[in-house]
Structure 1
Amino acid sequence: MEPVTLTTDRLLLRTVGPDDTEAVYRAAQDPVMQRWISQFPSPYSREHAEALTGQIVPDGWAGDSMYTFGLFLRGEAPGGEGPGGAELTGMLGITMRALGVGEVGFWAVREHRGRGYVGEATLAAARWAFTALSVDRLEWRAEVGNVASRAVAERAGFAVEGTLRSGVNNKGVRRDCWVGSLLPSDLGLPSTAPYLPART
């Protein structure tokens, strides 16, 4: 799939490329991100950022396996970090896990945390996934203890379903993780397949 661009009231969600490498590299120096994001090496080098923006992100779009967006402020005057002056506030990706099932992951640049940008972007990306990708279940996972990620997911409407023992591998160590889901019906959208919830 060719990369798409989404917009919210405050953000432009677009793919990242080589011009965004420096902004990604700077953001990834945050030790909080290196602690909680299992895909982030520690230390995080410029080569890691180059591989992300130059190969991993475009390959994900081309292979319909992972759809990654940079989250940029809209309407910003020239002089910001990214192309056209837009400042990177975070990133979000949807990885396809199975037929009709995607998993969302996200992070926020330290200076932009607490402003609701990632939750806003998550809702926009979820609507897009439900309507354009025929996703019927969007999952979120985070290592137990990552309360900031959990707060974003819950504000976006994800139902936390429980704890998976040894559910993530963070830099070679198996750790428990929370798992949650968002369904099209949670956003008033139809599913591509009928859903019959269990009766309790």
Structure 2
Amino acid sequence: MGAARPAELDCELFGEGFFGQPANAVTSLAFVAVGLGVLASGRLRQRQRTVYGLLIVTTGAGSVIFHGPAPEWSGVVHDLPLVALIAFVAADAASDLAGRRLTDAWWLVPSVAAVAVSAIGEPVRLAAQATLATAAVGLSVLRWQARPQHRRTIVRALLVLGTGALIGTLSRSGGPLCHPDSLFQGHAVWHVMAASAVGLLTPVIGRVGSRASRLAPGR
């Protein structure tokens, strides 16, 4: 047997050709479609949404490479945009909670975080990614609490993301929903639901309210 491929923990068997894991590779394109939708939506009043759309597109492209041809370096192109996207969501929520728009220089933080997390070893890298994801979700929950006008948007995105994460976790190799040769792949479902979640979150990206508005009554 050859060396293990980077995505083998995601259950689906690898076949021949460009789409090594067909279900996981093809559904990665959901991110590309959502990102292009964000870029073409005509709602790009803030530079943040342009960056957001580009990060979603590159996350999808990296995932296609990771689950498709899966070269040795595919883990890097998978992790870099994904970590940057997670850090971006966390930073955007933090700027809204602080009631002040971040400077252009500050938006380099997601890129620095992505490079730093992707450069460290496997166990620590996974822990760092999980910590960053927890921070992004936690800050989004605080944003939900602080901005009544965005509550419906944020809760929909979090519910879709949480459901997809549960299915994806149970579908890891050796998990109860893992069937390597099945057309149904839980990790593929995770791709579609995660892409849908970041798309649902788009209306709040780049919006910054005043700190005083956090005391406004719910709607």
Shorter-normalised TM range: under 0.3
Structure that is richer in helix per residue: 2
Higher-Rg structure is: 2
Structure that is richer in strand per residue: 1
TM-score when normalising by structure 1: 0.28
TM-score when normalising by structure 2: 0.26
**Higher relative contact order, chain-length normalized (CA < 8 Å, sep 6+):** 2
